[in-house]
Structures are given as structure tokens and as C-alpha cells.
Amino acid sequence: MSNGEDDITVKIHYCGVCHSDLHIIRDEHGISQYPIIPGHEIVGVVTQVGTNVDKFKAGDIAGVGSLVGSCGACDNCRDGLESYCPSPLYTCTMLEFEGQAKQYGGYSDIIVVNQHFAVCIPDGLYLPGCAPLLCAGITVYSPIRNLGLDQPGKHIGVVGLGGLGHLAVKFAKAFGAVVTVISSSEHKRMEATEQLGSDSFLVCHDSRQMQAAAGTMHGIIDTVSAHHPLKPLLDLLRTDGKLVMLGAPDLDKPAEIPLLPLLGRKYVTGSMAGGMKETQEMMDFAGKHNITANVEVIPMDYVNRAMDRLARGDVRYRFVIDIGSTLDQH
């Protein structure tokens, strides 16, 4: 069933398990109102289209990310920056806003969404690995593009080699950057350099390694899901270098930013997912460069164990729920 003339109905095949889902279900932001259905890295098959729909037809593959609505009238919406709309409608809402129906996310079999908030998936990409592009992918692609880090030869640091981080390495390499992974232990060194193509690897707690790389990076994509010291990262930046914070742990807790390294003309910013136009651009870029996430595909009834493993950092690099097969069996 389609709810409106601009809506498409999508039978969900795969949904990624983002660390934000974990923050939300464990109420780590202190605002979750249950019941909640998580999931905002969705790919599936369009089964019905409303009468105004021109972007999709039945049988197409569509993707839905963290946003299913926005006001459509503010400057950000008009500029294609829907994720910065002051009235966003998230795919999985944690709490009921006045006048907005609570939304339920992609750990379910069907989603109905306005075509504007769905993207076309290029042919030939491995579908389970596409799902994480809808959140993790666009969240790292957007700052690489918008901070001017998408130029060959730029030196980009990627902090935290998880779902977002490993896609940041892939996108940065595809733009021709020199990439350094900054991780909390030695464990992922081989994977980062030999499988993901990172040019070098630093352990953030090893001050000798960190000092040797001081002042070399044009930008740092920080995807760490917990609060952590920022001075060692600011020291890695060149003059005019940019540190972009993407992690979303306890959001009310202030990050401590030491002033001295900032006086070296360094910038600290953040970024939230991406607008719909650039999400489609990211997906097309992924299609051209054959970029998908490294995934562990799981059935729905494994999801609680997957959440525990995600909390322990035990995933390479994204769990993706095989919603289609799991729910078809019941």
C-alpha cells in the first residue's frame, strides 16, 4: 500500500546496524521513548508507487537513510541540506515531537517513504554492502567533499576503524587521498593497510607514533563512538587543517578542546549525515568506484548478539540484517 501520491512502498531486504542504533536502544542520549524500531540503513525493492512518483517504478531497488522528511521550506532544505533542517523527520525517531508522528525504522519488513527521501541504487553493487552507505557512507562522504578533502594528494586521518571509519578510508582513497588510520590499538593494523588500502596506521595512545606524524594532515574524520582526547588529533593537523567530529556519544557532555593547538589556525567542526542530493551523488560515486561496506550478514534473531558485539567493537565492519530472508521464512 502507498500512503500518498509522492510515496513509494519499499519491501526491505537489508538493514545495517549503525552504532547510533545502539546509542538509541540503550538510551545513551537520555531521550529515547520506547517502543522504538531502530534501523536507518535500508535497501529494498519498490513494490508500489504513488501517482506523482517519477523517480522509481515497481521492481527498482531503493535506499533509505536516516531522514524521511524535512520542512522543505527553510534555507537548508532549499539548498539540498535537508539533514540540517530545523524540523527533520528521522527514519527512527527517539521521541515524539509535537505535531510529528513517531517514525519506526528499518528493522521491519516494509517502509513507506516520500520519493524525495529515497535514493536510487546503481546496478552491480553488492546489495547487503550498499545498506551501510545510506548512513555510514554519506556521513563520511559529505565532510570529505564539503571540507575540500576530495582532492588527490590530500592527507586524511581517519580516527576509529568501525562502520563509518572503514568507509571513510574507502572513499578517501577513491578521491586520491593519502590515508592514515588512527586506531585505539594495534589490532586492525594489517586489515587497515592490506585490505582497506590505508597508507599508514597510528595507535592513538602511542605518543611516539603520533608525534612522528604531527603537522602532516589536511583533515581528520573522527568517527569514534566515545568521548576521547582531542589534543593528540589537533597536533596531527597542518595549518588550516580541519578536524570533523562525527561520533555521537552522550551529546550533552562538552568535548574538551585545548586552545593552544587551535591558535595554530586549526578548525574543529561536525557534520550530520547529508542532504538527499549529495546522498544520491555519494551512491553514484560508490557505483562508479565499486565501494560497498565490508559486512557480516545476520538473520534478524541474531540482532541482540550483534548489538553486544558492536558495543565490544567485535565487527568487521558492519552488521547487516538480512530482513528479506529472515521475515519471509515466518
Number of H helices, E strands in the chain: 12, 15
What is residue 25's three-state secondary structure?
helix
- Decide: is 146 part of the binding site for ligand NAP (CB under 6 A): no
Q: Min. distance of Cβ 199 from Zn ion in angstroms?
A: 27
Q: How far is CA 286 from CA 154, 157, 196, 238, in A?
A: 20, 20, 15, 29
Identify whether the C-beta of residue 25 lies closer than 8 Å to the C-beta of residue 32: yes
Selected from 67, 246, 303, 306, the binder of ligand NAP by CB under 6 A is 246
CB closest to ligand NAP, residue no:
162
- Decide: is 103 part of the binding site for ligand NAP (CB under 6 A): no
* Count of CA atoms in the C-beta half-sphere (13 A) of 129: 18
How far is the C-alpha of 310 from the C-alpha of 321, rounded, in Å? 13
Residue list 186-205, contact with ligand NAP (CB under 6 A)? 188
- Decide: is 313 part of the binding site for ligand NAP (CB under 6 A): yes
Selected from 162, 232, 241, 275, the binder of ligand NAP by CB under 6 A is 162
Q: Min. distance of Cβ 270 from ligand NAP in angstroms?
A: 7
Identify whether the C-beta of residue 267 lies closer than 8 Å to the C-beta of residue 78: no
Q: Min. distance of Cβ 239 from ligand NAP in angstroms?
A: 26
Identify whether the C-beta of residue 24 lies closer than 8 Å to the C-beta of residue 38: yes
Q: Which of 87, 89, 143, 146 is nearest to 116 (CA)?
A: 89
Q: Which of 86, 67, 272 is nearest to 164 (CA)?
A: 272
Q: Which is nearer to Zn ion, 172 or 273 (CB)?
A: 273
Prior bond of 35 cis (ω within 30°): yes
- Decide: is 163 part of the binding site for ligand NAP (CB under 6 A): yes
Q: Min. distance of Cβ 178 from Zn ion in angstroms?
A: 27
Q: Min. distance of Cβ 222 from Zn ion in angstroms?
A: 15
Selected from 20, 70, 103, 279, the binder of ligand NAP by CB under 6 A is 20
How far is the C-alpha of 134 from the C-alpha of 273, rounded, in Å? 9
How far is the C-alpha of 210 from the C-alpha of 217, rounded, in Å? 12
Q: Which residues pair with 64 in a beta bridge?
A: 42, 118
Q: Min. distance of Cβ 260 from ligand NAP in angstroms?
A: 23
For residue 308, the Cα-to-chain-centroid distance in whole angstroms is 20
Out of ligand NAP, Zn ion, none, what residue 133 binds, judged by CB under 5 to 8 A for its kind, is none
Residue range at the interface with ligand NAP (CB under 6 A); choices 15-23, 114-122, 256-264, 276-284? 15-23
For the chain, helix, strand, coil in percent to 5 are 30, 25, 45
- Decide: is 40 part of the binding site for ligand NAP (CB under 6 A): no
Q: What is the CA radius of gyration of the chain?
A: 19
- Decide: is 135 part of the binding site for ligand NAP (CB under 6 A): yes
Selected from 9, 10, 19, 177, the binder of ligand NAP by CB under 6 A is 19
How far is the C-alpha of 39 from the C-alpha of 20, rounded, in Å? 9
Q: Which residue is it, cell 568507509?
A: 167
- Decide: is 228 part of the binding site for ligand NAP (CB under 6 A): yes
The residues binding Zn ion (CB under 5 A) are: 18, 20, 135
Residue range at the interface with ligand NAP (CB under 6 A); choices 50-58, 94-102, 240-248, 258-266? 240-248
- Decide: is 272 part of the binding site for ligand NAP (CB under 6 A): yes
- Decide: is 310 part of the binding site for ligand NAP (CB under 6 A): yes
Residue range at the interface with ligand NAP (CB under 6 A); choices 1-9, 53-61, 135-143, 230-238? 135-143
- How many CB atoms are closer than 10 A to CB 51? 9
Residue ranges that bind ligand NAP, judged by CB under 6 A = 18-20, 23, 135-136, 139, 160-165, 183-184, 188, 223-226, 228, 246-249, 271-273, 310, 313
